[in-house]
Amino acid sequence: MKRIPIIVATRNSHKAQEIAAILPEEYEVHTLAEYPDAPDVEETGHTFAANARLKAEGVSAALHGLVLADDSGLCVDTLNGAPGVLSARYAGEHGKDADNNAKLLRELSVLRGWAPFPARFVCALSLAENGREIAHFHGTVEGRITLHPRGLQGFGYDPLFVPRGYTCTMAELPADAKNAISHRGNALRLFAEWIHCRSSRFGECSD
């Protein structure tokens, strides 16, 4: 079986592993760790979709092939949608999960009377080639924030997020169970369906 190469525009090993685990086996996932000269695209957009597009187009302008970029984060209703697009650098430095979680807990702890804290994870995907976006996808998962972190799986805000219909946090779910309901999983399944239709030699696929 000929595999479809996809360059995922991330140097986040956790995110790359999760994407590789969710996509079907026919995809050959590469990351920016294999391309040390790939550009670091500044995320200046005001939405997840805008940031995903900036990354996908910026990286695909420098690298040959299909580039898939992800921008995702947590939106808490009580905080008017924060951390939002600042999720990865909420506490100041990019990628410091413990600091980001601690800041979120501090902010919600003084608002205990507003609990439970409705929230959602959001994922925007952008697929680009030759510096131009050719498709985009969106996925969410609804839930709430707990002030008592639990679980050792996952990354980011997973220890604080309880998906709707569950009593455990994302970080307490096995990887396959999390991927089946996650925002990133939902967006990636839409992507996989779209690109399968695009590359299929038989049948017709609706837009």
Within the chain, where are the H helices?
13-22, 48-60, 97-109, 175-181, 183-199
Residue 118 has pLDDT above 70, yes or no: yes
pLDDT of residue 202: 40
State pLDDT tens for residues 13-57.
Answer: 888 888 888 888 888 999 999 999 999 999 999 999 999 999 999
Task: Please give the order of strands across the beta sheet that includes 117-129.
Answer: 27-31, 4-8, 67-76, 117-129, 132-145, 161-163
207 catalytic per annotation = no
Task: Flag whether the pTM goes above 0.85.
Answer: yes
Per-residue pLDDT at 19? 87
pLDDT tops 90 at residue 183: yes
pLDDT tens readout for residues 134-174: 999 999 999 999 999 999 998 999 999 999 999 999 999 99
- Sign of torsion, CA 75 78 83 84? positive
Q: Which residue has the higher pLDDT, 10 or 200?
A: 10
Question: Would the pLDDT of 200 be above 80?
Answer: no
Please give the Cα distance from 5 to 138 (Å, whole number).
21
Catalytic member of 37, 70, 71, 97: 71
Task: Domain ranges for the chain, please list them.
Answer: 4-199
Fold of domain 4-199: Maf protein (3.90.950)
With pLDDT > 70 as the criterion, what percentage of the chain qualifies? 95
